[in-house]
Amino acid sequence: MNANIPSGGRLVVVRDGVELPEEQARALWRAFSEHMDRNERDLDGFARAHGFVSVRPEHRRGRAVLVVTTSQSIPPPAARAKPVVRAASRSTRPAPAAKGRSGGRR
């Protein structure tokens, strides 16, 4: 067992908003610690290797929490999508017919 892992419920894994049982949490923390020892700062690599969308460690109320997301609820933003030009959509409508006066100056 890795000496860096505290004992007694101080390690928590929250997967998609649900806290895992302690035994599963400790096993995932162990795998996470081993991965990080071999691959410094490679959170994305650990997530991909375990089928997660993302993983990030946090500290909450004296406990180490590994926050794991397994699905994306919101699609990622498009890479620098072109802004929508509203004027173009209006140009497809026919202009209203002028009533009364014939385009002269006031």
Give exposure, 43-66, as e/b (b: 16+ Cβ within 10 Å): beebbeeeebeebeeeeeeeebbb
| Residue 44 included in any domain | yes
Residue 70: its pLDDT value, please?
93
* 75 occurs within a structural domain: no
Residue 17 structure tokens: 């908003």
Domain membership flag for residue 42: yes
- Report yes or no on 64 lying in a domain: yes
**Mean pLDDT computed over 23-40:** 95
What pLDDT band is residue 5 in, cutting at 50, 70 and 90? very low
7-16 per-position pLDDT tens digit: 457 899 999 9
For residue 32, which of 15, 21, 47 has the smallest C-alpha distance? 47
pTM score: 0.59
User: For the chain, what is the domain count?
Assistant: 1
Q: 48 or 81, which is more confident?
A: 48
| Domain region containing 62 | 21-69
Tokens of 3: 């000496």
What share of the chain has pLDDT > 90, as a percent? 56
pLDDT digits 0-9 by tens, 34-68 = 999 999 999 999 999 999 999 999 999 999 999 99
Pairing of strands 63-69, 18-19: unpaired
77 inside domain: no
Residue 40 lies in a domain: yes
**Strands 63-69 vs 54-60: parallel, antiparallel or unpaired:** antiparallel
